[in-house]
Structure 1
Amino acid sequence: MLSLVMALVIVVLLYNFIEYKESARATAWSGIIDKKISEVIVFADEEIPVDSQFNILVTIKSFRTLFLQRLVDSEKKFSGAAKNKIRNLFKEYNLSDVAIRKLNQKKINLIAQGIRELAVMDQEEAVPMISLFLSHPSHQVYQEAQYAMVRLKGFDGLHFLDTFSSKISEWQQLQLLLSISSLPVDSDITIERWMGSANDSVVIFTLKLIKKFQLLSFYSKITELFNTSSDEIKVKGIQTLMSLDNPETVAYLSTIYKDQPEEVRIEILRVIKVSKDNSCTGLLKHELLEGNTSGIKVNAAQGLYSLGHQGYLSELARREDLSEELIQIVKYALQEKVC
C-alpha cells in the first residue's frame, strides 16, 4: 500500500514538473516571438539582424503553433502597415500549414481555430477548404466558416445564405454585418432572393443589410413582408422601413395596423411615438380607450404624450367613468406617481 502511495506521489510530482517546464518554455518562447514581432513592426527589413536562434526554433512544431497564435493575437492590436507586416511574417515562415493541419483535426475547437487563423491572416487561397465547413454539424465550426468566408470575400462570401437552413444568431449576424464594407453593383438580385428565404434569420439579416446600406429601392419589397411573414420579421421590417426615412412610412404602418398581431401593433405604436406624427392621433386615442391588452394601451398613452397631448391625457386621468387600470396607464404616461 505504501509503495502504491509513493508511486502516485512520484507520478504527480513528475506531471507537475513537466507542466512547469512546458509553461516556462512557453513563456520564454512568447518573449522571443514578441521581440521578433516588435522588431518587424518597428524597423525596416534591412535593419533587422539575422536571428539564428529564431530560425532554429521556428522549425519546431510546437514553437510554430505558438508563433501563429501570437501573430493572430497581435494582428488584432494593429492596423495599416503594422498589420501588413504581421501578415508578411505569417507568409515568410509559411505558417499556413499550421492552420491547415488544424482543419484535419477531430476536435471542434481546433478546427474553428484553424479557420479563424486563416481568415485573420487573409489567406484567400484557403477559401475552397473553408467553404467545406459551412455545412459542418458543429455550430462553432460553421459559424467560424461563415465569418471567414465573408472576411475573405466580402459580400460574395455571403452566398451560403442561399441554402442555409439553420438559425443565424444575433451575434453572428452582427459579426457578418461588420465584415461587409461595401456591396457589388449587382447585389440587388442576390438581396432580393434572400428576402424570399424560408429561413427567417436570413430574411432578418437581409433587412439589417438593407438598413446598413440604406437600400431605398427595397422599400416596396419590405412592405410585402407584412402579408405572410412571421411576427419577428414584421417587427424587423418596421424598424428597417423607419430607417429608410420615407415620409410615407408612418401613414403606411397605420393603414396595416388593424390587421397585425399584438407584437407588431406594439412596434407600430412605438415608431409612431418616436416619429411624433400627429396624423396618427386618432389611432392612438382609439387604442388607448379600446385596445384589447395593457401593452397596447401603455404604448398608445406614451405615444399621445410624445405627440404633445398631455392635456387630453390629464382629462382622462380625472374621469371617474374609466377603469382603474386605464387611469393608472394614463398617469404612468403623464409620469405621475400611481398611488
Structure 2
Amino acid sequence: MFLTTSVHFLFLVFLGMLSLVLLLIIAVLIYSFYQYRESVQASRWSEVINKRISEVIVYGEEKISADSNFSEASGSPLFRNLFLQKLAESEKKFSGAAQEKLKDLFREYGLQEEALKKLHQKKIHLIAGGIQELTAMNVEDALPKISTFLSHPSAQVYQEAQYAMVHFKGFEGLHFLNSITSKISEWQQLRLLISITHIPENSGDTIKSWMESSNDSVVIFTLKLLRKFQMLSLYSSVIDLLEHPSSEVRIQAVQTLLSLENPSTIAHLMEVYPDQPTEVQKEILRVIKKSKDQCSTDFLKDQLLNTSDSGVKVCAAEALCALEKQDYLAEISQQETTSEELIQIIKYALQEKVC
C-alpha cells in the first residue's frame, strides 16, 4: 500500500514538473515570437524613417508628398522613440541647413515629450539617451532638468549632462569643474574642448582656480583649454604646475609651455629637468626636439652620454638629430669607448631622421 502511494506521488510530481517545463517552453516561444515581431517591425520602421529623413534633407518637408505608412505609424510610442533616436543619430552626420531640417522634423512631430520622458526613467541608458537627444535637437528649455544629472552616480549619465551644459552655454557651462570629483576621460575632454568656441574676457581667475583643483583631470583639461586658446597670461601658472604631485599633470604642463611659445621656455625646462620624474624628463626632451632650440645642444649631449636610462638616451639622440647634429652622433658611435647600447640608440635615432 505504501509503495503504491509513493509511486502515485512520484507520478504526480513528474506530471507537475513536465507541465512546468512545457509552460516555460511555451512562454519562451511566445516571448521569442514577440521579440521577432518587434524586430521585424523596427526594421520596417527604420526604412520608413530613414527614407523620410533623407527626403526632408534633400527636398525639404514642403516638397514631399504625404506618406500614409509614416503617418499611421507616427502615433505609436515605439515608432516615435525610434524616430527620435534616428533623428539624434542623423544630427551628428550633418551640419548647417540639413541639421535645421532635422530639428524642424523633431518639432513638427512633437518628439520633445518623448525625450523628456526618458529623463524620468530609472534605466541609465534611457536617461543618457534622453539627454543626448535633447542636446542634439537643441531643446534648451530642458537644461534645468539636465543640470540635475551632473551629480548622477553613473558616468554615462553625468558625462552627457556635462556635454549638454557646454553645448548650450559654452564656457559658462563648465561651472561643474568647480566641484567635480570624478575623472574626466580623454574622450570627454575632447568633446568638451570641441564645444567651446571662445573664452570670455576676465575669465582668468576662474581658469586659474581650475588649475589649482585637487582633481588632476580638471587640471589637465584646463591645460588643454589654455593650449587651444593660447592664454599667454597664465604662463606663470603653468610653470608652477611643474611641481605638481602628478607626473601626468607635469607632462601636460610641459606640452602647454611649448604651445604658449615663450622665449624662456626651453631654458626653464632645462633648469627644472633634474628634479623631474623620468617620464617628465622624456617629455621635456621631446619638447626640446620640437622646438629645435640650438641653445639646448650641450644639455642634450650631456643627457645622451651621462644618463643611465635608455629611454632618456633615445629621446636625447632624437632631439640632437632634430638639431642637425648627425655628425656628432656618428662620431660618438665610432668611438671605441662607446657602449654597444649607445651605438644602437644612435643608429636608431639616425634611421628615424632619415625616415
TM over 0.5: yes
Q: Which residue of 1 aligns with 2:33?
A: 17
Is 1:226 equivalent to 2:279 in the alignment?
A: no
Farther off after superposition, 46-55 or 256-265: 46-55
Is 1:75 equivalent to 2:91 in the alignment?
A: yes
Is 1:321 equivalent to 2:337 in the alignment?
A: yes
> Where in structure 1 are there 5+ consecutive unaligned residues?
none
- Relative to structure 1, the CA distance from residue 320 to residue 99 in structure 2 (aligned partners, 3 Å threshold; closer, same or farther) is same
- Relative to structure 1, the CA distance from residue 5 to residue 302 in structure 2 (aligned partners, 3 Å threshold; closer, same or farther) is same
Q: Secondary structure at the match of 2:150?
A: coil
Q: Secondary structure at the match of 1:65?
A: helix
How do 1:193-212 residues align onto structure 2 when only pairs under 5 Å count?
193-212=209-228
Structure with larger Rg: 2
Q: Which residue of 2 aligns with 1:124?
A: 140
**Residue in structure 1 matching 2:174, options 158, 161, 180:** 158
- Partners of 1:33 and 1:329 in 2: how far apart? 59
Q: Which residue of 2 aligns with 1:258?
A: 274
Q: Which residue of 2 aligns with 1:27?
A: 43
Instruction: Give 1:87's aligned amino acid.
Output: K
Instruction: Give 2:191's aligned amino acid.
Output: Q
- Partners of 2:93 and 2:328 in 1: how far apart? 56
Aligned 8 A contact 2:118 2:126 in 1: yes
TM-aligned CA deviation for residue 260 of structure 1: 1.8
- Partners of 1:192 and 1:310 in 2: how far apart? 42
How do 1:1-339 residues align onto structure 2 when only pairs under 5 Å count?
7=23, 10-49=26-65, 54-335=70-351
TM-aligned CA deviation for residue 174 of structure 1: 0.9
TM-aligned CA deviation for residue 181 of structure 1: 1.8
Could you list the per-position Cα deviations for residues 75-133 of structure 1 after superposition, in whole angstroms to 9, with x for gaps in the alignment? Answer: 22322112112112212222121112111222111111111111111111111111111
- Partners of 1:123 and 1:263 in 2: how far apart? 45
- Partners of 2:263 and 2:108 in 1: how far apart? 56
Aligned 8 A contact 1:194 1:203 in 2: yes
TM-aligned CA deviation for residue 286 of structure 1: 1.4
Could you list the per-position Cα deviations for residues 216-243 of structure 1 after superposition, in whole angstroms to 9, with x for gaps in the alignment? Answer: 2222221121133421111111111111
TM-aligned CA deviation for residue 4 of structure 1: 6.3
TM-score by length of 1: 0.90
- Relative to structure 1, the CA distance from residue 332 to residue 74 in structure 2 (aligned partners, 3 Å threshold; closer, same or farther) is closer
Aligned 8 A contact 1:123 1:152 in 2: no
- Partners of 1:25 and 1:41 in 2: how far apart? 24
- Relative to structure 1, the CA distance from residue 187 to residue 52 in structure 2 (aligned partners, 3 Å threshold; closer, same or farther) is farther
TM-score by length of 2: 0.86
Farther off after superposition, 200-209 or 315-324: 315-324
Instruction: Give 2:302's aligned amino acid.
Output: H
Percent identity over paired residues = 58
- Relative to structure 1, the CA distance from residue 331 to residue 53 in structure 2 (aligned partners, 3 Å threshold; closer, same or farther) is closer
Q: Secondary structure at the match of 1:24?
A: helix
Aligned 8 A contact 1:124 1:153 in 2: no
- Relative to structure 1, the CA distance from residue 93 to residue 186 in structure 2 (aligned partners, 3 Å threshold; closer, same or farther) is farther
> Where in structure 2 are there 5+ consecutive unaligned residues?
1-14
Instruction: Give 1:222's aligned amino acid.
Output: V
Q: Secondary structure at the match of 1:133?
A: helix
Aligned residues: 336
- Relative to structure 1, the CA distance from residue 8 to residue 164 in structure 2 (aligned partners, 3 Å threshold; closer, same or farther) is closer
- Partners of 1:312 and 1:41 in 2: how far apart? 62
- Relative to structure 1, the CA distance from residue 332 to residue 83 in structure 2 (aligned partners, 3 Å threshold; closer, same or farther) is closer
Aligned 8 A contact 1:115 1:145 in 2: yes
Point out 4+ residue stretches in structure 1 off by more than 6 angstroms.
1-5
Instruction: Give 2:131's aligned amino acid.
Output: I
TM-aligned CA deviation for residue 55 of structure 1: 4.4
- Relative to structure 1, the CA distance from residue 54 to residue 289 in structure 2 (aligned partners, 3 Å threshold; closer, same or farther) is closer
- Partners of 1:229 and 1:140 in 2: how far apart? 29
Cα RMSD after superposing both structures:
2.3
TM-aligned CA deviation for residue 271 of structure 1: 1.5
